[in-house]
């Protein structure tokens, strides 16, 4: 079942066209990942303290409609594929159920000591599979 985080669009996240600036949606995906990590693992900080971090290696989005200041948005992350060292998520942003943005983001797991790729730890893999 996908992870969903609700957030509200801030004034300064919108541009002179009156809509959320397109790069900001990618920041929303990152905010939702932090909240997914909290639900799954306690917090992002705890995972990093245990030696595992993630970095974005691919990101894509299709923009179907615009979000505006003060809109409540549901940012959805669904695990699409768990590789040995990487995790691909399908992303979506909805307002009142309508899809505004659909995307994809791929993270690679790294060892915080060496900054090298590492296999997804087993206990993390098990938790993440619940968001498939």
Pick from 6, 39, 49, 58 the residue near a second copy by CB under 8 A. Answer: 58
By beta-carbon proximity to a second copy, the closer residue of 56 and 119 is 56
Q: Does residue 26 bind a second copy (CB under 8 A)? A: yes
Q: Does residue 39 bind a second copy (CB under 8 A)? A: no
Restricted to residues 5-24, the positions that interact with a second copy (CB under 8 A) are 10-12, 14-18, 21-24
Sign of CA dihedral 26, 32, 36, 38: positive
C-alpha–C-alpha distance, residues 111 and 63, integer Å: 34
By beta-carbon proximity to a second copy, the closer residue of 1 and 113 is 113
C-alpha–C-alpha distance, residues 2 and 90, integer Å: 9
Q: Does residue 86 bind a second copy (CB under 8 A)? A: no
List, in order, residues 6 or more apart from 114 with CB less than 8 Å away. none
């Amino acid at each position: 079942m996908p992870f969903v985080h609700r957030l509200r669009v801030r004034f300064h996240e919108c541009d002179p066209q009156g809509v959320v600036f397109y790069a900001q949606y990618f920041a929303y995906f990152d905010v939702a990942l932090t909240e997914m990590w909290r639900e799954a693992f306690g917090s992002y900080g705890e995972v990093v303290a245990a030696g595992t971090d993630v970095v974005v290696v691919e990101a894509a989005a299709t923009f179907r409609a615009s979000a505006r200041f003060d809109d409540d948005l549901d940012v959805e992350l669904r695990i699409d594929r768990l590789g040995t060292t990487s995790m691909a998520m399908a992303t979506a942003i909805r307002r009142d159920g309508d899809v505004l943005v659909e995307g994809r983001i791929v993270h690679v797991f790294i060892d915080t000591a060496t900054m090298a790729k590492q296999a997804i730890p087993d206990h993390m893999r098990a938790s993440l599979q619940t968001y498939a």
